[in-house]
């Protein structure tokens, strides 16, 4: 189980611990951000800590981010770090189960399918899904009456409905098996990064769910082939047309597995983002008022058109909601869904004159960079306007030959990562979350709940127990449908 410490000279300083094997696991597990910030103060931007017998070297700061996101494939790999975790959930022939060059081609297929033409069809789909879901939640609730909304649960529902409908097609949305998703997701156990193939009961359900979900996608692929549907601009159709450089095509299994990977990759990341956006906005009615004014200006040319009279959003109008962009970026800065990003070191590699030895994990921590005071004054303050006019945190993503994100990886704001593993769902995530929040604040008013013990306003703490940082329970908001003057 334990990896012995390498004898390489000039290694990064080792963080102190008392219990062998366990090392710093508990402190990191409770609050990785605080733990890494504390270590940074003592040891600087590069140090190694012990987690469940594995040596984890952290590279912080803009240089540390640049190092991890652009490390050479031969020196450190995402496959080595994530393979045991992801392959059983996603399935074979895709992502970390294939050589990186092939996965890069698969990412390009998805990126090509997520075209502007496709995005234009997605905004009305998301709009209809949000209305449909919120109507069902408020079915028997009169306007003006406040209810408690389990925010993460509600946002998870909205995310899965909108993503499955836009990216995977109407058939999946209609026949979507929530139980299958649940079982797959439960098989995503962080402990699997360190221990291979543990026979946990959840893993049997995971394997069954993967098979059933694969079969479901394959039956849809078969049906679409028979119907020769080339009109629908979802990712599934994009992948069905895709061709590798060598002229071969992804198998139906590979297409199904890529769809599962996208579903899993985008679900908690997006639903936690919209949840935190609502929590942050609940403390800032002034920002909500500005967001409504922005929608009114963009959609009607006047600042005060009542929300219920605003026309539907389109892809073009959504793009003009710059304050909403800033709200999402500021939320990602304070609540980056992926707090630690890992690679497995395959050969001894140098960082700032230190040797990070083969066998260590190397990690970047975007959430720690996001709180750097010299870059973000008053770093814990929710201040969306600090992003106005800046394109940092989002950027173009190119591939194969072209240096992907060399320029932007030396940055302190990287919620979507950088380099060859950079997120391909970023543009979709902006469309999805901006539409959800824009529609939500039009029709609903929300505020923070109260802590039953203290009676004080309740703002959730981050929950770091899974791979994605989500709001800790209780994570309720008090929500009411706005009354419309007759
Ligand atoms: C990669 C964040 C939404 C699919 C990444 C990475 C980050 C990230 C930080 C880099 C991981 C690494 O370097 O190891 C986010 C955030 C999201 C989001 C913050 C939402 C707010 C999505 C969505 C999808 C998606 C909606 C799918 C439609 C992917 C894929 C990768 C990726 C396929 C590539 C993994 C790799 O190359 O190894 N994402 N993501 N993400 N994301 Fe996202």
The verdict on the CB of residue 238 being under 6 Å from ligand 1 is no
Q: What is the pLDDT of residues 211-243, one digit of tens each?
A: 888 998 999 899 999 998 878 889 999 999 999
Find, among 156, 104, 83, 34, the residue nearest to 344 by Cα: 83
For tokens 């392959």, what's the residue? 87
Find, among 18, 14, 10, the residue nearest to 39 by Cα: 14
Range 306-333 average pLDDT: 96
Does position 400 have pLDDT exceeding 50, yes or no? no
Position 450 confidence tier, pLDDT thresholds 50, 70, 90: confident
Find, among 327, 352, 329, 325, the residue nearest to 413 by Cα: 329
Asked whether 463 and 469 are in contact (CB, 8 A), the reply is: yes
The verdict on the CB of residue 423 being under 6 Å from ligand 1 is yes
- CA–centroid distance, 266 to ligand 1, in Å, is 7
For tokens 């012990």, what's the residue? 50
The verdict on the CB of residue 81 being under 6 Å from ligand 1 is no
- CA–centroid distance, 371 to ligand 1, in Å, is 21
Instruction: Give the closest residue (by CA) to ligand 1 atom 1.
Output: 423
Q: What is the pLDDT of residues 169-180, one digit of tens each?
A: 877 776 665 666
The verdict on the CB of residue 36 being under 6 Å from ligand 1 is no
Q: What is the pLDDT of residues 333-352, one digit of tens each?
A: 999 999 999 999 999 999 99
The verdict on the CB of residue 429 being under 6 Å from ligand 1 is yes
Complete DSSP assignment for 169-217? -HHHHHH--HHHHHHHHHT--GGGGTSTT---HHHHHHHHHHHHHHHHH
**Percent above pLDDT 70 for the chain:** 90
- CA–centroid distance, 273 to ligand 1, in Å, is 13
How far is the C-alpha of 432 from the C-alpha of 163, rounded, in Å?
A: 8
Instruction: Specify the ligand 1 atom closest to the Cα of 267.
Output: 26
The verdict on the CB of residue 419 being under 6 Å from ligand 1 is no
Does position 394 have pLDDT exceeding 70, yes or no? no
- What ipTM was estimated for this complex? 0.99
Q: What is the pLDDT of residues 35-71, one digit of tens each?
A: 999 999 999 999 999 999 999 999 999 999 999 999 9
Structure token pair of residue 334: 């304070």
The residues with which 23 forms a beta bridge, in sequence order, are 51
3-state secondary structure of 448: strand
Does position 407 have pLDDT exceeding 70, yes or no? no
The verdict on the CB of residue 273 being under 6 Å from ligand 1 is yes
Half-sphere exposure of 485 (CA within 13 A, CB side): 2
Instruction: Specify the ligand 1 atom closest to the Cα of 433.
Output: 21
Terminus-to-terminus CA distance in the chain, angstroms? 69
């Amino acid at each position: 189980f334990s990896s012995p410490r390498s004898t390489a000279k000039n290694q990064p300083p080792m963080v102190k611990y008392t219990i062998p094997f366990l090392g710093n696991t508990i402190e990191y597990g409770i609050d990785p951000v605080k733990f890494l910030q504390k270590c940074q103060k003592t040891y600087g931007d590069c140090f190694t800590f012990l987690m469940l017998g594995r040596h984890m070297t952290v590279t912080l700061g803009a240089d540390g981010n640049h190092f991890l996101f652009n490390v050479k494939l031969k020196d450190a790999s995402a496959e080595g770090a994530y393979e045991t975790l992801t392959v059983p959930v996603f399935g074979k022939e895709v992502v970390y189960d294939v050589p990186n060059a092939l996965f890069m081609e698969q990412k390009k297929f998805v990126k090509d399918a997520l075209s502007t033409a496709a995005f234009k069809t997605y905004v009305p789909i998301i709009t209809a899904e949000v209305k449909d879901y919120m109507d069902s939640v408020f079915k028997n609730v009169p306007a003006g009456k406040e209810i408690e909304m389990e925010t993460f649960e509600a946002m998870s529902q909205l995310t899965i409905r909108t993503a499955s409908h836009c990216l995977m097609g109407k058939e999946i949305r209609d026949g979507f098996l929530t139980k299958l998703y649940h079982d797959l997701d439960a098989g995503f156990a962080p402990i699997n990064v360190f221990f291979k193939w543990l026979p946990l009961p959840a893993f049997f359900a995971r394997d069954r769910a993967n098979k059933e979900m694969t079969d479901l996608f394959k039956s849809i692929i078969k049906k679409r082939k028979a119907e020769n549907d080339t009109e629908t601009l979802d990712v599934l159709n994009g992948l069905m047309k895709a061709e590798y450089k060598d002229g071969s095509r992804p198998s139906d299994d590979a297409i199904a597995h890529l769809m599962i990977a996208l579903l899993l990759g985008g679900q908690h990341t997006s639903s936690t983002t919209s949840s935190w956006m609502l929590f942050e906005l609940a403390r800032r009615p002034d920002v909500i008022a500005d967001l409504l004014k922005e929608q009114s200006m963009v959609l009607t040319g006047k600042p005060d058109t009542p929300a219920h009279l605003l026309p539907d959003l389109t892809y073009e109008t959504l793009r003009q909601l710059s304050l909403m962009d800033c709200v999402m970026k500021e939320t990602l800065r304070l609540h980056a869904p992926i707090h630690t990003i890992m690679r497995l070191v395959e050969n001894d590699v140098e960082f700032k004159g230190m040797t990070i030895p083969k066998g260590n994990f190397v990690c970047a921590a975007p959430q720690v960079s996001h709180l750097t005071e010299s870059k973000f004054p008053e770093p814990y303050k929710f201040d969306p306007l600090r992003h106005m006019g800046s394109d940092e945190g989002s950027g173009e993503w190119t591939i194969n030959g072209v240096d992907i994100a060399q320029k932007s990886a030396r940055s302190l704001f990287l919620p979507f990562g950088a380099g060859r593993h950079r997120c391909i769902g970023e543009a979709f995530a902006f469309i999805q979350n901006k539409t959800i929040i824009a529609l939500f604040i039009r029709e609903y008013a929300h505020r923070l709940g109260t802590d039953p013990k203290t009676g004080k306003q309740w703002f959730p703490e981050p929950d770091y127990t899974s791979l994605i940082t989500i709001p800790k329970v209780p994570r309720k908001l008090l929500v009411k449908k706005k009354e419309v003057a007759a």
